[in-house]
Structure 1
């Protein structure tokens, strides 16, 4: 494991951050930890990795392309098909519909079919 020079790493990070975001970062120093703009505390090695990401241009702030979300597959409801009548759903029908809309398998509450 190589020793990192604190002043060199922080100055390189400041210049990379300023180039990417257009402003100087606010770095709070604690013994062994560095907080950037009031965010999560990072070790010096993490700050060096963040500098590499900023200089390579692969950060979320510099990357503004939107990726289309894949279409959700139609999920078959494990419950019976229920249609709403003019009075609305019964309690049992409501739970069947509500749990069928969720993205994961759910069980009906006790006492419901």
Structure 2
């Protein structure tokens, strides 16, 4: 695993974000975590992956802005219908741990 230089990674991310979205992001650093535009906190390695994604999709978004294709519209409608209408997931952490405890130790009692 290579060492990442935070200044270089943030600079590259800022450039890729600006080219993809047309505005400069606000990057807040707290204890090794980075928050982009007040969103979810990510580590430096995730920030580098986001840079690569933005750089690779940056050319795609520029062409999509000029002329949207039918395949883009179909993909957008598929993602809208795949989400749960209420916006909630059916996954429950409590149920997950109950199933895990029972699977590891059959006959054990569940925590309260």
CA distance in 2 between counterparts of 1:36 and 1:29 reads: 9
Corresponding residue for residue 73 of structure 2: 66
**Offset of 1:34 from its aligned partner?**
0.2
**Offset of 1:14 from its aligned partner?**
0.2
Corresponding residue for residue 47 of structure 1: 47
Corresponding residue for residue 10 of structure 2: 10
- What runs of 5+ residues in structure 1 fail to find an aligned partner? 71-113
When the two chains are superposed, the root-mean-square deviation of aligned CA atoms in Å is 2.5
Corresponding residue for residue 81 of structure 2: none
Asked if 1:23 corresponds to 2:37, the answer is: no
CA distance in 1 between counterparts of 2:36 and 2:22 reads: 15
Size of the aligned set, in residue pairs, is: 69
Give the TM-score, by structure 1 length. 0.54
Which one has a bigger Cα radius of gyration? 1
- What runs of 5+ residues in structure 2 fail to find an aligned partner? 79-112
Instruction: Please identify runs of 4+ aligned residues in structure 1 that moved more than 6 A.
Output: none
More helix by share: 2
